Amino acid sequence: MNGHRDVLVPVLEEARRLGFLGPGPVETHLDHAGGYAAALEHDAGPAWLPARAADLGSGAGLPGLPLALQFADTQWTLVEASVRRAAFLREAVRELGLEARLAVVEERAEVIGRAPEYRGRFDLVVARSFGPPAVLAECAAPLLRVGGRAVVSEPPGGEPERWPAGGLAQLGMAPGAGVQAGGAAYQVLRQDEPCPDRWPRRVGVPTKQPLF
């Protein structure tokens, strides 16, 4: 990640100017993005590399843009429902020269989870501040192939009880490792079985009627 900071810092500073990035030094946000890779390696091992990955609710491009530079052979999809944020992400992709292997999809996660070109197609799904655990799991599981993983940022210290095995099993998921990296916490979720066809529910329902 360190080798890409010079090109990422101006992009994230622009995101902050537009109101898409929260407080704190940009370098701290980059350190946090790097923790996703550390959590993935801890759970799956260094030889496990995703061929196709998605960042749900990408916003300012975190953690998707830094991870796309780190995983140089991975095809990435940044999912962002906001028109303004999606426009920013498209420009960032052009500035970083990632057009060949990074696409921005301006859509709700519940919608792309039912689209044949995305459903069950990803090895890795990442998310930062996407929503409560049940909402994230319901939106991530339909995108993951069997054997794929989701990596999610967690409150400081981590709270494994937020990811109940029984609730995740409804989606074909199981809790993986809870990882501390760089002073932050991450939770890995494993897709052990295909996500049943009834998930995800229509837009807004996962938030209003969470599975767990």
pLDDT value of residue 1: 56
Instruction: Indicate the burial class of 158 (C-beta count within 10 angstroms; 0-12, 13-18, 19 or more).
Output: middle
Q: What percent of the residues of the chain are helix, what percent strand, and what percent coil, each to the nearest 5?
A: 40, 25, 40
DSSP class of residue 19 equals T
Could you give the CA distance from residue 49 to residue 57 in angstroms, rounded to a whole number? 22
**Higher pLDDT pick, 3 / 55:** 55
Helices H / strands E in the chain, number of each: 8, 7
pTM over cut 0.85: yes
Question: At a CB cut-off of 8 Å and minimum separation 6, what does 79 contact?
Answer: 54, 55, 56, 57, 58, 105, 107, 109, 112
pLDDT, tens digit, for every residue of 46-103?
999 999 999 999 999 999 999 999 999 999 999 999 999 999 999 999 999 999 999 9
Could you give the CA distance from residue 52 to residue 35 in angstroms, rounded to a whole number? 19
Adjacent-strand bridge partners of 76 = 53, 102
Could you give the CA distance from residue 71 to residue 48 in angstroms, rounded to a whole number? 11
Question: At a CB cut-off of 8 Å and minimum separation 6, what does 137 contact?
Answer: 150, 163, 167, 168, 171, 173, 189, 211
pLDDT, tens digit, for every residue of 123-151?
999 999 999 999 999 999 999 999 999 99
